[in-house]
Structure 1
Amino acid sequence: MARPREFDAAEVLHKAMGVFWHKGYESTSVVDLVEATGLGKSSLYGAFGGKHELFLAAFDAYRNDRVRDMRNILEHGPARHSIETFFRMIVTDAHSPQFSNGCMSINQAVEMAPRDPEVRQRVQADFQHIEDALRRAIERGKRDGSVKSSKPARDIAQLLVVAFPGLQVMVRAGYDNERLNDALRLLFSNLD
């Protein structure tokens, strides 16, 4: 008879996520994962499979959390304000210990997506989720009058999605708030 699990799988995934998010996939060792989760190697692999499977499960947990957060921002309140809040959070989150490692999806777009089809599919899906949510917010803004641009909502959303990783990289590269706010101002001018 198999022994029942004596740990919270969601908690373990979030601990593993923290390690992968901070160190990246390649630099994370099994020892790092064992130390972070408090599980033995056999328990960890028994529950989640190998390092790659654990990474994908942890990355999916991250992605689910961020999609929920994004929807909470972009689907409520005045449309333009919601869009601006979403992008300003990139700057403010950089000063928070939880998000000081940047966006895990952007990190993986660079580290793993070029050579790992499963990660690439997830990163592309993330960009599509962002584009779709922004398009809906822009369409709502056109209806409520807060987005004045005559450009199609889809075109504006695509442009904003292209800017999203650029802003993430600027934040991680240590640009000062004045420069970041200038970039945001230019970005938001596409809504006028």
Structure 2
Amino acid sequence: MARPREFEEGVVLDAAMECFWNRGYEATSMRDLVDKTGITGASLYNAFGDKRAIYQRALDRYVEGSVAARLARCEELPPLEAIVAFFDDIVSRSVEDRSRKGCMLVNAALDVAPHDDEFQRIVAEVMTRIELFFRDCVQKGQEQGAITSTMSAEELGRHLLGVLLGVRVLARVRPDRILLEGVVRPAIELLDIGSSPRHRDH
């Protein structure tokens, strides 16, 4: 009869996620994971597989707990307000990130995806999910007359994704609220049909 696991899987994955998030994939060893999770290497292998498999589970947990949760919260709001709330949350989390560990998804894009086709696909799918959130918000806002139609929803969705990634990378080295809000504000003003003189002049 198999012995029951003597640990809670979610707690162990959260600990592994923090380890990878802080140190990056390459710099994290199995010894680091053992020390952080508090369980033996054999138990880690038996429960989750090798380091790569543990990383994938940890990244999945991050995406569902952070990215997907943020999208779900924002999707309940009116279109322009949803985009503003999304970026407000990103800026606040970036400023409050004392260890400057950034976004685990963006870190994966830079650290792991270039050398691993499977992780490249995983990261690309999540970024596409975010881009579609922006596009759908813009499209609804355009239909309601709240967001400019000077550019297509597809173009503006891609632009907002680029702004997001820029903020996340910049915050790793300069987590200054004024700076980050200064990056986001022009993008929001570009969307808001009533916020900028250029929209009234043209």
TM-score by length of 2: 0.88
**Unaligned runs of at least 5 residues, structure 1:** none
**Structure whose CA Rg is larger:** 2
Distance 1:83 1:89 in 2: 10
| Amino acid paired to 2:25 | Y
Shift of 1:20: 0.3
* CA contact 1:131–1:158 (8 Å) conserved in 2: yes
Tell me the residue number matched to 1:16: 16
Q: Say which is worse superposed, 29-38 or 44-53, in terms of deviation.
A: 29-38
Amino acid at match of 1:57: R
SS of the residue aligned with 2:44? Answer: helix
Q: What CA distance in whole angstroms lies between the structure 2 residues aligned with 1:125 and 1:66?
A: 15
Alignment of 1:17-32 (within 5 A): 17-32=17-32
Number of aligned residue pairs:
192
| Unaligned residue ranges in structure 2 (runs of 5+) | 193-202
Q: Using the TM superposition, give the Cα deviation of residue 138 of structure 1 relative to its aligned residue in structure 2, in angstroms.
A: 1.2
Tell me how far 1:102 sits from its aligned partner. 0.9
Corresponding position: 1:132 with 2:132: yes
Mapped partners of 1:183, 1:105: distance in 2: 20
Residues in 1 aligned to 2:45 and 2:177: alpha-carbon distance in whole angstroms: 43
Name the Cα RMSD after superposition: 1.8
Aligned to 1:37: 37
Moved over 6 A (4+): none
Cα deviation for residue 149 of structure 1 reads 3.0
Q: Does 1:58 align with 2:65?
A: no
Paired amino acid for 1:76:
E
The one-character-per-residue Cα deviations of 1:118-147 (angstroms, maximum 9, x if unpaired) are 211111011101011111111221233321
Which residue type is aligned with residue 65 of structure 2?
A: D
Preserved CA contact (<8 Å) 1:147 1:191: yes
Letter in 1 for 2:70: M
CA distance in 1, matches of 2:69, 2:149: 26
Q: Match for residue 162 of structure 1? A: 162
